[in-house]
Amino acid sequence: MESTSSFTWLTASLLAAIVTVMLKWMHASYFSTKQKPPGPLAWPLIGNIFDLGSMPHHNLYKLRPRYGPVIWLKLGLVNTMVIQSAKAAADLFKNHDAAFSDRKVPDAHTAWDYCQGSLAMGNYGPYWRTVRKLCSMELLVNRRVNDSTEIREKCVDKLVCWIEQSIASSQVEGKSGEVELSELLFLMAFNVVGNLMLSKDLLDLSSTEGREFFDAMNQVTKWAGTPNLADFLPFLKPFDPFRVRKNMAKGMGVAINIVSSFLKERGHESISTEKVMKNKDFLDVLLEYQGDGKEGPDKISEKNIIIIILEMFFAGSETTSSSIKWAMAELLRNPESMKKVKEELDSVIMPNKRVMESDMDKLPYLQAVVKESLRLHPTVPLLLPRNSMEDTNFMGYHIPKNTQVFVNVWAIGRDPDVWEDPLSFKPERFIGSNIHYKGQHYELLPFGSGRRICVGMALAHRVLHLTLATLLWTFDWELGDSLTPQTINMAERTGITLRMSEPLKAIPRKINRT
C-alpha cells in the first residue's frame, strides 16, 4: 500500500514538473520581444527533435533553402542555433568566438566525470586553458610532430604488411583477395596514437594484447554517439531513462582501468637521460604536470591525465581512419582521379623507394584529393556543440546565454554560394587554390576554427597524407566482382563521427617497383 502511494506521489510530482517546465517554455517562446533566427515551428515540450531525424546534418541542410543559413531550433527544452554557411561561420569564429567558446556537454560524457578532465568536451575556463596550452605547446606542437615522423612511417609500413598478409591468406583459401580496409586503418591509427602516447604498439592482427582496450574504446565511441532524450529534456538526466550514461560508464570504466595500469607501469620505469632529452612520449610530458589538481593552474590530477590519454585515442584513431576510408572510397568511385593521383606519385617517388613524409609537399594533387574528401565527408559533421556564455547579438539576432550551437560543416562544404557544382568530387577545384583547412578559410572547416579548433589537426594532416599516398603507391586497387564505381555504397552511419554505413572492401594488387 505504501509503495503504491509512493509511486502515485512520484508520478504526480513528475507530471507537475513537466507542466511547470512547459508553461515556462511557452511563456519564454511566445512572449519574448527579442528577435531570434528563423526556424521551423516547435512543438510543446519536444520542440524540433523530430526535425533532426536519423541524419541531422542532412535534414538541417534541407532546411536552409526555406530558413536561411542561420536556423533556430528548440530541441526539447534546449535553445539551439545552427550555422550552415561560410559567411555565417566566418562571423561566428571571427567576431564571436569568445562568447561561444563553452561546450554543451551531453549527459553521456558526465560518466566518470569525463567532461571535467576532457579538452574536447570540457567547459571553457582555467583548467581547459591549461590543458589546451599543454597540448598545443608540449604534446602536438609542430616540433614534436616533426620528431615523430619515424613512428608514423613505421605504423604505415606495418599496415602494408597487414594488407600483404591478408592477400596471402586469401590466395591460400582460393578467394578473390578482397581486403576490408576499415579495421586495418583503425588499427594503424590506434597504434600511431599508442606510440606517441605510450611508446608502444597496442594492437596487432595476430595478438590479443590491447584487444580489451580496443573493445572498450569502441563501446565508448558507440555510446558517445547514441542519441539521448535526456540531453533535450534535462529534467530526465537523474533518471538516465535509456541507460546511455550507464552503458557509457561501463565501457569507460574498463578503459580507465587499463590506462591506470599504463600509469603504474610507467611509475616503475626509470627514464634514461637520452629519453628525457629527446624521446619523451606524451605520457612522460603529462606526468611532469601531475599534481592533485589543487596545487595550481598548471597541475593536472592523475584522474584527468587518464582522461586526456583516453581522449587522444578517441580523437586520433576514429577520425583519422574514417577520413582515409572516405578518401579511398571517393577514388575508387572516381577512376580518373585515382589515375591522376597515381601518375603524380609515379613522377615523384623513385621506383625502388617507399613513400616518406618528406615527399608530401611535392604532391599537390594528392593534397587536393584529401581536401576534397574532407569537404564532402567531414568526420564530425556538426562539429562538437558549442554553448553561448552570455547573451549575444549575432548577425542581428538575439542569442540568449546557454544556447547550444551547431556548426554544420557538412552543409558548409556544400554551400552553393561558395562551391561550384558542390555535390561532385572534383579535387581539381583546389589546384592553384590557397584554401586550406587550418581554420582561416570558413568554407572548409573539417577541424573547426577558433579556440576550439581540433588540437590534433597537424598530426591528422600528416597521417592522412602519408597513409593515402602509401596505399596508392604500393598497391593497385580494384573493386570486387559485385561492385562498380557507380554502385559503391556511400551511405553514412552517424554517431559521434561520420562513418561509412558498410565496411570499405577492395582488392589490392601489389605493384612490383624493382
Binding residues for heme, as ranges, are 454
- Alpha-carbon distance of 426 to 90, in angstroms, equals 24
Q: Any residues with CB less than 8 A from the CB of 140 and at least 6 apart, and which?
A: 455, 456, 458, 459
User: Where do the H-state alpha helices sit in 111-243?
Assistant: 114-117, 126-134, 142-147, 149-172, 181-198, 211-224, 229-232
Tell the residue number behind the cell numbers 562571423, with chain if given: 91
- Alpha-carbon distance of 194 to 281, in angstroms, equals 10
Cβ atoms 332, 481 nearer than 8 A: no
Q: Would you call 10 helix, strand, or coil by DSSP?
A: helix
Q: How far is CA 349 from the centre of its chain?
A: 31
How many Cβ atoms are within 10 Å of 238's Cβ, its own excluded?
9
* H or E element that contains 264: helix 244-267
Could you tell me which of 472, 435, 150 has the C-alpha nearest to residue 446? 435
Distances (CA, A) of 332 to 100, 172, 487: 40, 26, 11
Q: Any residues with CB less than 8 A from the CB of 373 and at least 6 apart, and which?
A: 323, 326, 327, 330, 425
Cβ atoms 220, 255 nearer than 8 A: yes
Distances (CA, A) of 233 to 8, 94, 385: 22, 32, 16
Q: What dihedral do alpha carbons 159, 165, 167, 171 form, nearest 10°?
A: 180
Cβ atoms 332, 339 nearer than 8 A: no
What is the residue-wise DSSP string for 283-321? HHHHHHTBS-S-S-TT-B-HHHHHHHHHHHHIIIIIHHH
Sequence ranges of the binding site: 454
| Cell numbers found for residue 205 | 592482427
Q: Write the Ramachandran bin of 240: left for phi over 0, alpha for psi from -120 to 50, otherwise beta.
A: left
Radius of gyration of the chain (CA): 24
Distances (CA, A) of 308 to 1, 119, 128, 146, 386: 50, 7, 11, 21, 20
Cβ atoms 449, 442 nearer than 8 A: yes
- The conformation of residue 488, written as its DSSP 8-state character, comes to -
